Structure 1
């Protein structure tokens, strides 16, 4: 199992002039501590579930580019970009640019999306959920076309909501230029009727919700992969989380127990918020006492879990 850091409520009340320097310290410490992925939330206002909407919220792809400049190894993703925020070709270009400038470390993290009030407040389009699922599949097809060949596809990509006449993409993503397929695609959500079929067809990483139904969700995803002739082992199973090692590391045992539970249900990547991340020491504690231990965890199915788990 590997751990990733999810920055969703970083520097809620930090003065603007100090946010950049503090963020640089956080991400360098996370990388030095052994986190394999750094993810950022993609909302324009702070989530009301994590604070007040008036508190600090940074734009995702500007932030990921900044993080790329202050790290050298961690993978970089939004968790996740709502499909309604950007035209698919613009999103594909953003992820490609991040990939090129970071040396091949970008992922496309995407989902049907929600609103924190920012959509309504800014007057942005927010189509009905059914339309957003259609937009999600069209976006995945357009990005796949952009990541085809040396400079993107040559044929138009038509759709109900979007039409791309020429999915030209130069420079191409680093993974493509090295003979790979494309930046990894992470799809957020575990809905059985709409989301998991898209995960089976398009995703390299599934971002699932922690809970006792995880084995059933993973089993369904495996069946959906089999139906289209895809090896389910090609898709990493991840979930969101919240790490709280506690004062002086007093909560490490509980964190390890929760992560072992997730590993036993088939999860091999956990991307979580860290309580007190601005203080840096919780990151160091996780690096010393948790990340080396969970690297030994295997992923085998088990429906049994602890009474409590930190929810993201």
Structure 2
């Protein structure tokens, strides 16, 4: 290991489709900002997964981030990840650019092909076959980055494909020259190729360290195949987190998630601060430069404090 993780290398990741209002998310984002975390991210889903009623119902990712752009001041904001099936590329480019302006240049765009069939059926969203979804994702990445890169006063056109664009003014422009794009997943070919071409960051969600290493090696190879320096990308992982000052607190937080501490230790970042710090070091040693901490109990703001104070003390 060449360096330790800093608090800014840790990003809070929420799943509001499981049941959260804007105010719930705002409290978490503001506490994360106060504690110095690097970013507040949210999923982009419209339907609860597994047990639960999802009340008060889904919130739209980019409407949420627009609100947070004005209700926070320093923390970065983004999606892990928006689905290409949910939005047309032109309006999505507008939304992300506007939220970037509203935040003063603090937005990352995570974009993926989409996978959750039931939410598409529940809200009348077309859900094509996997190959077409990846084709659409690739085209959206080309169009969104193309519109952002179009100089002021010029227009952007891209005929053909699923989304034909003619003489777009390609406005508005984001504050950042191009908001960082996060691409992730476990596909062996197209995912690494898209990451190599378009991403500033590659993320693996909820996989083992061994698979993380295999997949990031594929991304690095895909970069080299197009003469891009693989070190230009940030390599990150998303993992569920459950930390307690002692074993009783670990068990209490695990029970609140409806999961067992042993299973969480095996599949995530779970345990006492010393245990979790050691687990984070192992991910850093595997090449993870950034960790997304999946926080499921949004009412437990003290959980963020334990990580920021006790785990970081162990890491330092």
TM-score bracket for this pair, using the shorter chain length: 0.7 to 0.9
Note if contact 2:17-2:46 (Cα within 8 Å) is conserved in structure 1.
Answer: no
Q: Which residue of 2 aligns with 1:26?
A: 28
Q: Which residue of 1 aligns with 2:285?
A: 264
Q: Which moved more, 1:53-62 or 1:142-151?
A: 53-62
Q: Which residue of 2 aligns with 1:35?
A: 37
Note if contact 2:11-2:41 (Cα within 8 Å) is conserved in structure 1.
Answer: yes
Q: Which residue of 2 aligns with 1:113?
A: 114
Over aligned residue pairs, what C-alpha RMSD do you find? 2.2
Residue 217 (str. 1) matches residue 215 (str. 2): yes
More helix by share: 2
Q: Which residue of 2 aligns with 1:3?
A: 10
In 1: Cα distance, 2:312 partner to 2:243 partner: 12
Assess, with a 3 A threshold, how the Cα gap between structure 1 residues 97 and 155 changes in structure 2: closer, same or farther: closer
**Stretches of structure 2 lacking an aligned partner (at least 5 in a row):** 251-271
Residue 276 (str. 1) matches residue 297 (str. 2): yes
In 1: Cα distance, 2:12 partner to 2:80 partner: 11
| Cα deviation, residue 89, structure 1 | 0.8
Q: Which residue of 1 aligns with 2:46?
A: 44
Q: Deviations over 1:226-276 (max 9, x none)?
A: 110101111100111111112567622222122112111101111121253
In 2: Cα distance, 1:199 partner to 1:110 partner: 11
| Cα deviation, residue 105, structure 1 | 0.6
| Cα deviation, residue 70, structure 1 | 1.9
TM-score when normalising by structure 2: 0.83
Note if contact 1:27-1:70 (Cα within 8 Å) is conserved in structure 2.
Answer: no
Residue 290 (str. 1) matches residue 311 (str. 2): yes
**Stretches of structure 1 lacking an aligned partner (at least 5 in a row):** 177-181, 297-312
In 1: Cα distance, 2:146 partner to 2:154 partner: 5
TM-score when normalising by structure 1: 0.84
Q: Deviations over 1:127-177 (max 9, x none)?
A: 11100000011000001111114438624113421111134233311012x
- What's the secondary structure of 1:147's corresponding residue? helix
